[in-house]
Chain A
Amino acid sequence: QKEVEQNSGPLSVPEGAIASLNCTYSDRVSQSFFWYRQYSGKSPELIMSIYSNGDKEDGRFTAQLNKASQYVSLLIRDSQPSDSATYLCAVKASGTYKYIFGTGTRLKVLA
């Protein structure tokens, strides 16, 4: 069973701090990695994709990928109350269509 594991949280951080969200996966052939943000009652919204080892930065968001250790993380700098949401990690093997989603980590940014 191919799995994607996330801590369900909630992860509480004060406003302005760095929020660190982690995800581990079991399938070594995974090649594409995505972070989605889902506000309560809303749909998943793509915020980051990463395909190569290392860091990828986009504004306040940084995705980090380590294929050898089979983990991917998302850092949110200068966290804002509006970042409070559930963050879903999704993993996909190259040449396939199927995303394996984690169950999500709930983030709470405290004002």
Chain B
Amino acid sequence: DAGVIQSPRHEVTEMGQEVTLRCKPISGHNSLFWYRQTMMRGLELLIYFNNNVPIDDSGMPEDRFSAKMPNASFSTLKIQPSEPRDSAVYFCASSLGLEQPQHFGDGTRLSIL
């Protein structure tokens, strides 16, 4: 079975550019999570969707970050404009429901120069 699919795997771009990260959750999973992982702060939850609806975006660091889930099989995380401090690994995870474990995608390693 296909797991959570993220793209791109790596992104290197210059400060000020728009960055779009993509995620396809596991088929049938109704919960989707975006995380950011850094050495200093570990895994941080950015936003949580349930049935395509954003439930909690309190972890989104600034207005420069936005996320959408137009349908059950696709979500995007956008950073505009990007800054060097946004450099991190961004993970998407999905689960079958609140009481089921989360499964992570391979992540996008983002470097903002």
Contact = CB atoms under 8 A, between A and B. Distances in A.
Main secondary structure of the interface of A (DSSP, over half): loop
- Of A43, A101, A104, most buried by chain B (CB within 10 Å of CB) is A43
A58 B106 CA distance: 24
A34 interface: yes
B102 interface: yes
Interface string B68-96: 00000000000000000000000100000
A98 B105 CA distance: 17
Contact of B101 (A34, A88, A96, A103): A34
Nearest to A95: B98
B31 A97 contact: yes
Interface string A31-42: 010101000001
**A: contact size bracket:** 20 to 34
B106 A97 contact: no
A103 B48 contact: no
B101 A98 contact: no
B42 A99 contact: no
Interface of B: 31, 33, 42-43, 45, 48, 50, 55-56, 91, 98-99, 101-107
Interface of A: 32, 34, 36, 42-46, 49, 88, 94-99, 101-104
